[in-house]
Amino acid sequence: MSQILATSKSGLIQEFVISKKKSFMTSTVSFVKCNVCGKGIEDGFSITAKSIQKRTFFFCDMHNN
C-alpha cells in the first residue's frame, strides 16, 4: 500500500520518491512539498525526500539534484 519508494545510496543519505503514479494516497503525503519552490504532489510533481543526517529535505522534479 505504500506510495513511497525508498532507495539507499549510502549510510547517511536515504532517498524517498513520492510519486503521484501510485494510486493509493494518504493524508501523510499532503504536507510533502518542495523545500525550494513549495510545489507538491498535488501540483503534479513527484517529490523526492532526502534524509540527510537525521534531517529531511523535500525536492520536486526540478530541484532534485
User: How far apart are the C-alpha atoms of 2 and 40, rounded to whole Å?
Assistant: 18
Please tell me whether residue 47 adopts helix, strand or coil conformation: strand
Residue number, 3 or 60, with CB nearest to Zn ion? 60
Q: Is 50 in the site for Zn ion (CB under 5 A)?
A: no
Q: Is 37 in the site for Zn ion (CB under 5 A)?
A: yes
Q: Is 42 in the site for Zn ion (CB under 5 A)?
A: no
For residue 33, give the DSSP letter.
B
Cα end-to-end span (Å), the chain: 27
* Minimum CB distance to Zn ion, residue 13 (Å): 19
Subset of 12-31 contacting Zn ion (CB under 5 A): none
